[in-house]
């Protein structure tokens, strides 16, 4: 609503880091803050390794764009961390929910106007968009009222990588729409993604479906926060994310 699909912008940051000749290891975390909508046209991505340790590396990044008056303005800021994988004890305390598989669920039609949405194949499991935009408050069950579950994969299909997982972490429509059935303007202002999958696990997932789940925590003063999880079709936890979203009354 105020710029391009935030997931693609965040994915561009991850792509830039992983292609950087000084990159150490693979992405562990990313935080991007959308200071303003990126307008059509060129932009400059500034990226530097702020510190490199033996097994971790910390990155600082931003995007600037030339304004109509010729000045340069910052439209995005962010930080990231990469790390070399280490063989340690591991446990997943967020197992994939038991849900119907994607094969028996019809794909969601995508509006032609939303070009970025047409780049995905979506199959809703629960928590779809409201059938009527009547402003009603959703279920009083606060555990599930703002929750959505859907199967997603790139369209056309492509093997998963860290940029793809980053973009999928922002695939969800605003939770305020689901909670209130009122289509108010909304947009992500800050997105953090934590990567749990190794490059080997992403390779094993290939171009298969990913189960994506998201729900909000609280709505107040024009902002709400949202947590999300992504699992491979085989049940591996690929990433978790947290974001803050602006909405207008």
pLDDT tens per residue, range 12-63 = 999 999 999 999 999 999 999 999 989 999 999 999 999 999 999 999 999 9
Cα–Cα dist 148/5, whole Å: 19
pLDDT confidence of residue 109: 86
Please report the pLDDT score of residue 249 as a whole number: 81
Give CATH superfamily name and number for 6-84+93-247: Acyl-CoA thioesterase, double hotdog domain (2.40.160.210)
Tens digit of pLDDT for each residue in 107-148? 988 777 778 888 999 999 998 888 888 887 766 677 778 999
Predicted TM-score of the model (pTM): 0.94
Neighbours of 155 (CB within 10 A): 14
Q: Where along the chain do its domains lie? A: 6-84+93-247
| Mean pLDDT over each residue of the chain, to the nearest integer | 93
- Alpha carbons 214 and 226: distance in angstroms, whole number: 7
Residue of 74, 71, 24 whose CA lies nearest to 46: 74
Angstrom CA distances, 190 to 10, 60, 83, 99, 228, stand at 10, 15, 22, 29, 14
Asked if the model's pLDDT at residue 206 lies above 70, the reply is: yes
The number of angstroms, rounded, from the C-alpha of 76 to the middle of its chain's C-alpha atoms is 15
What pLDDT shows up at residue 47? 97
The Cα–Cα gap between 156 and 159 comes to: 10
φ, ψ dihedrals at 87, nearest 5° = -85, 100
The dihedrals phi and psi of 65, each to the nearest 5 degrees, come to -140, 145
54 phi and psi angles, rounded to 5 deg: -65, -40
Res. 2: pLDDT tops 70? no
């Amino acid at each position: 609503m105020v710029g391009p699909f935030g997931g693609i912008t965040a994915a561009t940051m991850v792509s830039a880091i992983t292609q950087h000749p000084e990159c150490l290891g693979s992405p562990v975390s990313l935080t991007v803050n959308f200071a303003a909508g990126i307008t059509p046209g060129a932009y400059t991505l500034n990226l530097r390794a702020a510190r490199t340790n033996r097994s971790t590396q910390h990155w600082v990044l931003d995007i600037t764009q030339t304004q109509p008056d010729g000045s340069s303005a910052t439209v995005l800021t962010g930080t990231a961390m990469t790390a070399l994988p280490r063989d340690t004890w591991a446990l997943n305390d967020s197992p994939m929910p038991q849900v119907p598989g994607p094969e028996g669920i019809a794909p969601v039609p995508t509006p032609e106007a939303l070009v970025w949405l047409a780049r995905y194949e979506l199959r809703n499991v629960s928590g779809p968009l409201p059938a009527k935009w009547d402003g009603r408050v959703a279920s009083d069950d606060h555990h599930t009222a703002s929750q959505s579950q859907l199967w997603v994969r790139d369209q056309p299909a492509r093997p998963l990588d860290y940029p793809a997982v980053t973009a999928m972490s922002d695939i969800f429509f605003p939770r305020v729409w689901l909670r209130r059935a009122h289509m108010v303007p909304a947009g992500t202002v800050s997105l953090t993604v934590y990567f749990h999958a190794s490059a080997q696990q992403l390779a094993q997932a290939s171009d298969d479906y990913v189960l994506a789940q998201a729900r909000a925590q609280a709505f107040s003063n024009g902002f709400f926060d949202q947590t999300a999880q992504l699992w491979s079709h085989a049940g591996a936890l690929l990433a978790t994310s947290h974001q803050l979203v602006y909405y207008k009354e």
